[in-house]
Amino acid sequence: MKFAVIVFPGSNCDIDMFHAIKDELGEDVSYVWHDETSLEGFDAILLPGGFSYGDYLRSGAIARFSPIMKAVEEAAAAGKPILGVCNGFQVLLEAGLLPGAMRRNSKLTFICKQTELEVKQGDTMFTQSYEEGESITIPVAHGDGNYYCDEETLKNLQANNQIVFTYKEDINGSIANIAGITNKKGNVLGMMPHPERAVDELLGSADGLKLFQSIVKHWREQHAITS
């Protein structure tokens, strides 16, 4: 399976993401510079964290118009797994691939720590290796992680089982303690916590690895040779 890690000017979790896929997951991975226009040949697309374009204007607002984003939108429409972490999540929100927006953290502090999450949906292509309801430990590192959407959008997210991860306690003011959501189709996941920083016990937690393993498992099921 071949993963793409999109690199914007100002991305800074791209190397962590690359390491998680290549060395911990053991799958094929390449960097794709934001100026590229094609994602042909890639089976899954990863948008890493960082401060794309210095977070100018709004987090993710400028990156959303990078040339590669058209290919990301096409890959999303084709049903390929797209994962945006932290700034990658913000880019997906700005691009309209996921509903809602990010505000400054409610207490204005940059939060960088391990957090307890609950896996709310265990049947997505990103979470099938977890138990539904499982508690996992994944670090966050963000200043703009205070998720917002209007009431109607929240109702839709709940009704369609799009809320995949929640914080076990309120850390940043996010509505309904939302830490990660998918699109309606379930193939685009945005999350503020960093699973790529939790892929080995040496890092304090290996709970993030199952997320990447889920993507591979799903892909293998889809591409199994049936006779």
Partner 1 sequence: MNYDVKVHVTLKEGVLDPQGSAVKTSLHHLGFAGVEDVRIGKVMNLRIEGTKDSVDGQVKEMCDKLLANPVIEDYTYEIEEVVST
Q: Is 58 in the site for partner 1 (CB under 8 A)?
A: yes
φ, ψ (nearest 5 deg) of residue 216: -65, -45
Burial 58-82 (b: 16+ CB within 10 A, else e): ebbbbbbebebbebbeebbeeebbb
Using CA atoms in the order 116, 82, 46, 133, what is the torsion angle rounded to 10 degrees?
20
Nearer to partner 1, 61 or 206 (CB): 61
List 11, 66, 105, 115, residue binding partner 1 (CB under 8 A): 105
Binding part of the chain for partner 1, among 56-64, 66-74, 79-87, 125-133 by CB under 8 A, reads 56-64
User: Contact 93/100 with Cβ under 8 angstroms?
Assistant: yes
Binders in 117-176 for partner 1, by CB under 8 A: 146, 148-150, 173
117 Cβ partners below 8 Å, 6+ apart?
Answer: 135, 136, 137, 138, 165, 166, 167, 168, 179, 180, 193
Bridge partners of residue 46, in order along the sequence: 5, 83
Q: Is 100 in the site for partner 1 (CB under 8 A)?
A: yes
Q: Tokens 């309904």 identify what position?
A: 176
Nearer to partner 1, 144 or 207 (CB): 144
Count the residues in the chain: 227
Q: Is 182 in the site for partner 1 (CB under 8 A)?
A: no
221 Cβ partners below 8 Å, 6+ apart?
Answer: none
Binders in 6-45 for partner 1, by CB under 8 A: none
CB of 51 to partner 1, least distance (A): 17
- Binding-site size for partner 1 (CB under 8 A) equals 20
151 is catalytic: no
194 is catalytic: yes
Binding part of the chain for partner 1, among 12-20, 40-48, 95-103, 122-130 by CB under 8 A, reads 95-103
Task: For residues 196 and 182, give the distance between their C-alpha atoms in angstroms, rounded to a whole number.
Answer: 18
86 is catalytic: yes
Q: Is 202 in the site for partner 1 (CB under 8 A)?
A: no
Interface residues toward partner 1, by CB under 8 A: 57-58, 61, 65, 93-94, 99-101, 103-108, 146, 148-150, 173
- Could you give the residue numbers annotated as active site? 86, 194, 196
